[in-house]
């Protein structure tokens, strides 16, 4: 096996990062026409990837149907309209849209656990593994893992 020297290592490692640049090159070479007949399917980014003029055109199209209202966190605008629609659909007194799944999870844990400081969750759960210390730092809830390494737990556990 040939020994790696610094120069060969840099050449080899440079090739490894090329896939990271593919979305940027595709975007730069993208279709600049306002709209295509059929929607273009892209397997990167969330939602449609408009260029600035397309984005402005889309906002104008939406605004011409109904004026876009000012939207502030938990107050008015499209979010309030969506919450109202969910209230109607579910028949509930109030609906609440939270900006992240982490915030929704932590609020649910806090509300459902009441004054209890310990909350049992699956060891393999997203809440336990991926949401850092949110439960403890925000709501002073200590997460207790159940069923180590399993995707389920029983009533006995």
- Distance of alpha carbon 22 from alpha carbon 19, whole angstroms: 5
pLDDT above 60: residue 92:
yes
**For 43, phi and psi rounded to 5 degrees?**
-100, 35
pTM over cut 0.95 = no
- Give residue 71's pLDDT: 80
Arithmetic mean of pLDDT over the chain? 81
- Give residue 151's pLDDT: 82
pLDDT-based confidence at residue 58 (cuts at 50, 70, 90): very high
């Amino acid at each position: 096996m040939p020994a790696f020297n610094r120069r060969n290592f840099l050449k080899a490692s440079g090739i490894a990062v090329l896939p990271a640049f593919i979305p940027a090159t595709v975007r730069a070479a993208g279709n600049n026409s306002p709209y295509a007949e059929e929607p273009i399917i892209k397997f990167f980014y969330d939602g449609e990837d408009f260029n600035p003029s397309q984005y402005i055109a889309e906002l104008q199209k939406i605004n011409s149907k109904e004026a876009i209202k000012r939207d502030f966190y938990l107050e008015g605008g499209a979010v309030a309209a969506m919450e109202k629609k969910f209230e109607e659909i579910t028949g509930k007194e109030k609906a609440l849209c939270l900006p992240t799944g982490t915030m929704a999870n932590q609020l649910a844990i806090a509300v459902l656990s009441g004054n209890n400081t310990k909350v049992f969750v699956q060891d393999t759960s997203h809440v336990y593994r991926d949401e850092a210390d949110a439960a403890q730092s925000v709501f002073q809830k200590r997460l207790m893992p159940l069923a180590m390494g399993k995707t389920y737990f029983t009533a006995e556990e």
